[in-house]
A and B are shown apart, each in its own frame.
Chain A
Amino acid sequence: MSFFLDRRLQLSRRTVLRGAGVAMALPLLEAMHPRRARAAGAIPKRFVTMFTPNGTIYPQWVPTGSETSFTLSPILAPLAPYQSDLVVVSGLYQQGGGGDGHQTGIGGMLTGQSLNPGPFQGGANAGSAGWANGISVDQQIAANIGGGTSLPSLELGVEVGSGDDWGRMVYGAANQPLTPEENPALAYQRLFATKGATPAELTALRARKRSILDAVRAQFQSVSARVGSADRARLDQHATALRDIEMRLDAQAMPSLSCVDPGAPVLPASLTDNDSFPAIGKLQMDLLAVALACDLTRVASLQWSRAVSMVRFTWLSPTVTDAHHDLSHKPDSDAASQDKLTRINTWYASQLAYLLGKLATAQETDGSRLLDATLVFWCNELGKGNTHSRQLAPYVLAGQAGGALRTGRFLSYTGDLPHNNLLVSLLQAMDVPVTKFGKDEWCTGPLSSLL
């Protein structure tokens, strides 16, 4: 693995520098962002989604107390250093439809939509479902604020596995799930592809790419005009991605003071081994944070495993050797399993705490924290694992979204309000002017008293 990786990285560097003389060691920022002047006070907003699977243990998750004076639960305890940066939201019903409980949950979680009919059930005869029927909230935000950066959004995953509708949560549009990058080395390479190139080299590189992309896009147009409508939709999706690449050649970043090239990640021996899970996750969080700090993207997501995750938390002490999904189906009366699940979800909370720590210590050009400009959304495909219930879905928001979100709060809703309303509020906090999101009948407007 490492041999091929090294070879590929060299190839990539050679590609970048091809025909352009000797690379000079320039400061990263200069090389990557030739036009990095930025107006004082214009700190860009960022949006981060973090997914963890298989539901939570609600009694161990829900805080106690009032909106502004609350005590974090055992599961959320690792977030204590950032309590004043949090908004814990309980009592919403996570809408969704089609497929089994986990499919429904992860498909509707960020889209507020049902799954369309489709083949994901291992057989076409019964009970199967396809992709979700709409754009996800993060991509809606990216469409509004993601332009002009190197990547409109960054999807990262940790041992996500098979490309089906249990393993996808981010959608560019109906039936268009986005694939998360599961390999931190490849994610790094994509983020820092042009590192070390001189401005002259970058100019030559851009000219080459533009020439190629223009010609390729013309081919897509030509073929697209000659095929049926369903095929045309697929080709047009591809052509749109090509246009995105071309626009990114002109990316203008507004990096924070904490934009430092972390260097190529040192990968664990295996990217699929169960016990590599924490190490891969940490590398991905480091990359996610630096991508935001360097303003390479303003919208990012981190998907831990997948719906129906079978990860075994062997690194916890005492160790948990059961597969997460198997455990999640144990009855409430099984105290030992409830304890293991509580510790699993607590570990996930500690991962969020690590990520928040990165965002809280990253410093913007005006001295504020990166976290001040960021909105982090932690979600789960289910509320309760053993029933597949999506009531009492466990949402945690963090960061001030540039002042849009008043934090240090615990909001407890009753009456199974649709989570679409929360998605609307997230969009509004990120300056996307909408009053509805997702499936119309599931949305009654923004979530009262959140913003």
Chain B
Amino acid sequence: MGETVTRAALCSECLRIVAAAMVLALGCAGTHGSSPAQPTPSVGPLCVTHDPGPSPLRRLTRTEYAQTVDDLLGPGVLDVSRLPPGERALGFDNNADVISTSDLLVDAYEDLAEQAGDAVAANLSAYAPCAGLAPDSGCAAQFIASFGRLAWRRPLAADEQAALASVFADGAAAVGFGEGIARVTAVLLASPQFLYRVELGAGPAAELPSAVALSPDELATRLSYLIWGGMPDATLRAAADAGRLATPADLEREARRMLADQRAHAIVATFHAQWIGVDKLAGIDKDAIVYPAYTPALAALFTQETSRFVDEVVWNREGTLAALLTAPYTFGDATLAAFYGAPPPAAGGFDLIHPDPTRRAGFLTEGAFLALYGKANQSDPVHRGRFVRERMLCTTPPPPPQNIVIRPPDLDPRSTTRQRFDQHTSDPMCSACHTLLDPIGFGFEHYDGIGRWRDMEGGQPVDGSGSLTGTDVDGDFDGAVQLGAKLAQSTDVQLCYATQWFRFGYGRGETTADACTLHDLATAFVAAKGNVRELLVALTQTEAFRYRRAGDLP
């Protein structure tokens, strides 16, 4: 009984990954109807069959729910902290393929909806101004139409308005006008049209046979959750009402307007927190004997640092993925500056700092990444390498074979981590896959398990050399700063980063049917020299964004 994975099978799986990576690097040369020929060579998978791919029903994430009730009711009116965290796949908490609905979650939705109703009823002058003049069924109908249009992100049909009017009437009869409004509000917020992004489509798409066009309100909703993580604003609603969301140029115009709004920063922050994994740092714990310097306060500084760094690069400076991997600056207070051996911020507080650029450049050399992918009592070349392979190159080595003893090496004050982990490459059972991971991860050996620089380990000088294989930037490097510089040159990394945004932006994993969308995204991203904001614009231009599959509706 029990599984055994033969060495041959394991090796062939890892060889397949290397081969696949090489094929992707070659890219393809075709272009297709909806996007004009690019002046730069196109990249990514070959686009043959035009297809928007699947559009599984998306539920508002915890973050989106919080933003949406803030948009709808005003900031802080509803405390949503009781919502349980969502399911998480491919690194992101919005993957529609894995959502599940527990009683726990539905209980929370139901209670929060009632609380929202109470908040509205307690402040009728703000939410239903007509109540001040005539708190009657006419005022209620007005509230149902206007508040309902916001909550459900589209105008309500007559039968829907009638159903809500009946809810109002029951509450009004039992208690009074405010109770009727409270119940209406609760029903609106507990209904699928609020909690889910229901898309019924708007008939066959003229330009793309087999696809369904989306209604203007459905497109407005896709835009607002993609770029703001919240509900459409008045300008977007007006564009939808006026038929000004019909063309790719319309979508681009709105996308650029929305990217200029501060709200877009939160989405970029959330993406990077989940892509890098920084949002898990608070739950990471270190051995206090080996790393007495590692405290929750330091972890909080790390989190703040990477968040500020990403924000600065994307919005204020270079704007590119390459800069995220190479920028010779970061953020910190005096404590963090001292941790990096850098002068404290000139203006005090938490601000720009400049660590030694031969030791620190880009997020791969920041404390958050290094501590996240460090063990509790030592560094962790395997998981640091795995991050690069899996999250930056989008190739996933298979899990270790079952029924073999996997033994992370013990601490040994006389040896280096590299020496201790060398068994991976000497034992053929392990080496097939670990040659994909460890040679990258060894490049981080100048950073200990919490990200501190070290020149010596176990009484011996640290060897921070590494190598990349199976990529378009293969070759040796010395240290993570050089690794970051190599990755910044890689088209494979750009394609993977665009793929990660596909997963996050569209709330699902890519499929073979998404070749054209991925091709368009990667091509646009490369053409924009890796500009992150341009990639967000490109996400609004794809077949996956603009359409649904015809077969997805009954």
Chain A residues near B190 (CB-CB < 8 A)? 212, 216
Which residues of chain A are near B403, meaning CB under 8 Å? 387-389
Q: Kindly specify which of A80-88, A157-165, A283-291 makes contact with the partner chain.
A: A157-165
Evaluate whether A175 and B100 lie within 8 angstroms (CB atoms) in the complex, with A14-B118, A329-B407 already known.
yes
Q: Check A228–B554 contact: CB distance below 8 A.
A: yes
**Given A178-B103, A235-B57, A118-B89 contact (CB < 8 Å):** yes
Interface 0/1 of A10-26, CB less than 8 Å to B: 01101100110000000
Interface residue from B103, B167, B376 paired with A241 (Cβ < 8 Å):
B103
Complex contacts, B174 vs chain A, CB 8 Å: 204, 207-208
Given A126-B396, A223-B192, residue A391 in contact with residue B1 (CB < 8 A): yes
Question: By the criterion CB–CB under 8 Å, are B405 and A119 in contact?
Answer: no
Type the 1/0 row for A293-327, where 1 means its CB is closer than 8 Å to any CB of B: 00000000000000000101010000001110010
- Are B553 and A227 interface neighbours, CB within 8 A? yes
Chain A residue, CB-CB nearest to B90: A119
B98 touches A118 (CB 8 A): yes
A237–B103 CA distance with the chains assembled, in angstroms: 10
B14: nearest residue on chain A (CB-CB)? A126
The interface residues of chain B lying within 8 Å CB-to-CB of A7 are 79
From B86, B91, B193, B408, contact of A329 by CB (8 A) = B408
Listed stretches A40-48, A93-101, A250-258, A420-428; interface member: A93-101
Of A30-38, A127-135, A349-357, A365-373, the one with at least 4 CB within 8 A of chain B:
A127-135
A330 to B407, Cβ gap below 8 A?
A: yes
Of residues 152 to 206 in B, which have CB atoms within 8 Å of A's CB atoms? 160, 163-164, 166-167, 170-171, 174-175, 179, 182-183, 186-187, 190-193, 195-196, 198, 200
| A8, B287: Cβ atoms closer than 8 Å | no
Partner of A231, one of B57, B179, B290: B57
Chain A, residues 258-292, CB within 8 Å of chain B (1/0): the string is: 00000000000010111000000000000000000
A121 to B17 alpha-carbon distance, docked (Å):
15
Set of chain A residues within 8 Å of B82, measured between Cβ atoms? 8, 183, 186, 189
Partner pick for B406 among A162, A219, A329, CB 8 A cutoff: A329
| Contact call B396/A121, Cβ cutoff below 8 A | yes
Q: Do A100 and B57 have beta carbons less than 8 Å apart?
A: no
Closest chain B residue to A160, Cβ basis: B85
> Cβ of B405: which chain A residues have Cβ within 8 Å of it?
329, 331-332, 386-387
Interface stretch of the complex, out of B277-285, B360-368, B480-488: B277-285
Q: Report yes or no: B103 in contact with A93, Cβ–Cβ below 8 A.
A: no
Output the nearest chain B residue to A314 by Cβ-Cβ distance. B288
A213 located at the interface, meaning its Cβ lies under 8 Å from any Cβ of chain B in the complex: yes
CB distance from B483 to the nearest CB of A (A): 20
Q: Which residue of B lies closest to A228 (CB)?
A: B552
Nearest-neighbour CB distance to chain A for B504, whole angstroms, equals: 13
Chain B residues contacting A93 (CB-CB under 8 Å) are 1-2
Q: Are B89 and A19 in touch, CB under 8 angstroms?
A: no
A contact residues around B100 at 8 Å (CB)? 131, 175-179, 237
Binary B-proximity of A209-235 (CB < 8 A = 1, otherwise 0): 101110110111011111111110011
8 Å CB contact of A391 from B2, B398, B408: B2
A312, B89: Cβ atoms under 8 Å? Answer: no
Q: Which of B531-552 contact A (CB under 8 A)?
A: 551-552
Query: A53 an interface residue at 8 Å Cβ cutoff?
Result: no
Cβ of B50 to closest chain A Cβ, rounded Å: 20
Q: Which residue of B lies closest to A185 (CB)?
A: B82
State A256–B433 Cα separation when bound (angstroms): 57
Determine if B89 and A120 form an interchain contact, defined as CB atoms under 8 angstroms apart.
yes
Contact pick for A331, options B17, B179, B407, CB 8 Å: B407
**CA separation between A211 and B167, bound complex, in Å?**
7
Of chain A, the residue at the smallest CB distance from B166 is A215
- Among residues of A, the one whose C-beta sits closest to the C-beta of B395 is A125
Known: A122-B91, A230-B56, A387-B403. A326 touches B375 (CB 8 A): yes
Contact, CB under 8 Å: B102 / A100? no
Query: Within 8 Å of chain A (Cβ to Cβ): is B394?
Result: yes
Nearest residue in B to A225 (C-beta to C-beta)? B554
CA distance A207 to B174 in the complex (A): 9
| Chain B hits for A179, CB < 8 A | 84-85, 100, 102, 104-105
Residues of B within 8 A of A386 (CB): 405-407
Q: Is the CB of B398 within 8 A of A126?
A: yes
Check if B81 sits within 8 Å of A312, measured CB to CB. no
Q: In the complex, which residues of chain A have a beta carbon less than 8 angstroms from the beta carbon of B290?
A: 321
B553 in contact with A216 (CB, 8 Å) = no
Q: How far is the CA of A221 from the CA of B87 in the complex (A)?
A: 25
In the complex, what distance in Å separates the CA atom of A119 from the CA atom of B97?
Answer: 8
Residues of A within 8 A of B391 (CB): 122
**Quick check: is A390 within 8 A (CB to CB) of the other chain?**
yes
Question: Most A CB atoms within 10 A — which of B3, B377, B510?
Answer: B3
User: Are the CB atoms of A164 and B554 closer together than 8 Å?
Assistant: no
Contact in complex: B79, A321 (CB < 8 Å): no
On whether the beta carbons of A244 and B103 are closer than 8 Å, the reply is yes
Closest to A390 in B: B2
A163 to B344, CA, bound (A): 39
Q: In this assembly, does B48 line the interface, its C-beta being within 8 Å of a C-beta of chain A?
A: no
The yes or no answer to B22 lying at the interface (CB within 8 A) is: no
Residues of B within 8 A of A189 (CB): 82
* Interface pairs (24), CB distance under 8 Å: A101-B402, A118-B98, A119-B89, A122-B396, A125-B17, A125-B395, A126-B396, A164-B87, A164-B89, A176-B100, A178-B102, A178-B104, A208-B171, A219-B160, A219-B187, A223-B193, A225-B554, A226-B554, A227-B553, A230-B56, A238-B192, A241-B105, A387-B405, A391-B2
* 4 nearest A-B pairs in the assembled complex, by CB-CB distance: A123-B396, A100-B399, A241-B106, A231-B57
Question: Known contacts A164-B88, A215-B164, A321-B289; can you find 8 more A-B pairs with CB under 8 A?
Answer: A122-B90, A178-B104, A179-B84, A204-B175, A219-B160, A231-B57, A245-B103, A386-B407
